[in-house]
Amino acid sequence: MRAIRIHEPSGVDGLALEEVPSLTPGPGEVRIEVHAAGCNFPDTLMLKGAYQDKPDWPFTPGKEVAGIIMDVGAGVPKGADGFAPGDRVMALVGHGGFAEEVTVIAEEVHKIPDTMDFMTAGGFALTYATSYIALHHHQIHLTPGEVLLVLGAGGGVGLTAVEIGKILGATVVAAAGSDEKLALAKQYGADHTINYRTESIRDRVKALVGGADVVYDPVGGDAFAQSLRCVNTDGRVAIVGFASGDIPQIPASYLLVKNISAVGIAMSGYRLRQTGPTRNMFPTLLDWCATGRLKPHTSFQFPLEQTAEALQTILDRRSTGKVVIRVRDVDSGVTTPDLA
Ligand SMILES: NC(=O)c1ccc[n+]([C@@H]2O[C@H](COP(=O)([O-])OP(=O)(O)OC[C@H]3O[C@@H](n4cnc5c(N)ncnc54)[C@H](OP(=O)(O)O)[C@@H]3O)[C@@H](O)[C@H]2O)c1
């Protein structure tokens, strides 16, 4: 089978399409014929050896896929709640997604509705699960009527936080670095927008809504520092990522004076726990999608051999929502979302 591989920490330039042996599912695993694979900022970190999970070199990157079950390993449940060859599924795979096949434990696999095409499903799981967990997290617990400030609001996780924030009844302030990304966030439900290349986050939040009850931050750096200065008393800051490359330091006095909580969110640490914020997560997200409350947005599609170019659009800050790799030419026949 064909797979994208990287042999040393060399970033996107080190990616190569190679022929590798077919896979066999181990106990508790399924093998998926991959049709689509989502690109995420964490893939770009993994290629440099700068991500918290560090697979042995060489490896195949790619953290989420959609496709068809080829076969199941020993002990995988069968029947309506289990899996069988032919099932259409999405899965979170850690790494290995940019390939024609992947094996993954069954707990990470979710059946997809017939109405969902593979290109949508391939870019769905990671970003929506991250924002769902972050905003439902017991220490964040976004409640109706609160003000949610989303940084990087036109990006992969950011746009999903805007959508889920609106579903949860928040007033959403979207902050991003371009008017195009802000227009998209507005289309996805944001009540207010701030361009942090030209405007002060702190001043604009105070002028628009008085302050933020929850900050959702996948960016870090100066945007984080400014946001911390407009959080309301009893506010919460969800630390999701550092796309700016700048991991901020938090002055503890800011937290103390206004009873603010800063909470780290690692989706990977939650997704297999069937309690708390992850209970019924995928059925809920897929239901919201089926009923049109979530509208997964894909800005670019690339074929498997152009995975490096796909990840470069993320590094260049040119993508909005998701970038998805078309691993096979055939799709389910269901209409794909808007393309750039
Ligand atoms: N905690 C978790 O479980 C989890 C899960 C998924 C992702 N993440 C993290 O969340 C962050 C965003 O991931 P993503 O997949 O949503 O990425 P993305 O689609 O590229 O979005 C990131 C956004 O960050 C902004 N940004 C600011 N400075 C940037 C820079 N120097 N380079 C690139 N983007 C920059 C960009 O918006 P503007 O141009 O508008 O500033 C961009 O839209 C990453 O740090 C990722 O590792 C964490």
Measured in Å, residue 152 CA sits from the centre of ligand 1 at 6
Report the CATH architecture of 128-269.
Answer: 3-Layer(aba) Sandwich (3.40)
Nearest atom in ligand 1 to 178's CA:
40
Nearest protein CA to atom 29 of ligand 1, as residue: 244
Q: What is the Cβ-side half-sphere exposure of residue 182, based on CA atoms within 13 angstroms?
A: 17
Counting ligand 1 atoms within 8 A of each CB, the residue from 39, 150, 162, 219 with the most, and so the one to mutate, is: 219
Q: Are 304 and 2 in contact (CB under 8 A)?
A: yes
Can you tell me which residue has the tokens 């927008």?
Answer: 193
Q: Which two tokens stand for residue 223?
A: 């945007």
DSSP 99: B
Counting ligand 1 atoms within 8 A of each CB, the residue from 194, 201, 317, 323 with the most, and so the one to mutate, is: 317
Nearest protein CA to atom 28 of ligand 1, as residue: 244
Q: Do domains 2-124+296-326 and 128-269 have the same CATH topology?
A: no
**Structure confidence at residue 155 (pLDDT):** 98
Q: Are 197 and 317 in contact (CB under 8 A)?
A: no
pTM of the model: 0.96
The series of mean pLDDT values per 10 residues for the chain, 340 residues long, is: 98 98 97 98 97 96 98 92 95 97 96 96 97 93 98 98 98 98 98 98 98 98 98 98 97 97 90 72 95 97 98 98 93 44
Alpha-carbon distances of 42 from 14, 175, 236, 267, rounded to whole Å = 16, 21, 24, 12
**Structure confidence at residue 331 (pLDDT):** 57
Q: What is the Cβ-side half-sphere exposure of residue 275, based on CA atoms within 13 angstroms?
A: 0
Nearest protein CA to atom 21 of ligand 1, as residue: 155
Degrees, nearest 5: CA angle 198-201-204: 90
Counting ligand 1 atoms within 8 A of each CB, the residue from 40, 63, 126, 179 with the most, and so the one to mutate, is: 40
Q: Which CATH class is domain 2-124+296-326?
A: alpha beta
Q: Where do the domains of the chain lie?
A: 2-124+296-326, 128-269
**Structure confidence at residue 46 (pLDDT):** 98
Can you tell me which residue has the tokens 């599924």?
Answer: 89
Degrees, nearest 5: CA angle 246-308-133: 50
**Structure confidence at residue 333 (pLDDT):** 44
Measured in Å, residue 82 CA sits from the centre of ligand 1 at 34
**Structure confidence at residue 337 (pLDDT):** 42
Q: Where are the beta strands (DSSP E) in the chain?
A: 2-5, 16-19, 29-39, 64-72, 88-92, 101-105, 109-111, 147-151, 171-176, 192-195, 212-217, 231-239, 261-264, 298-303, 322-326
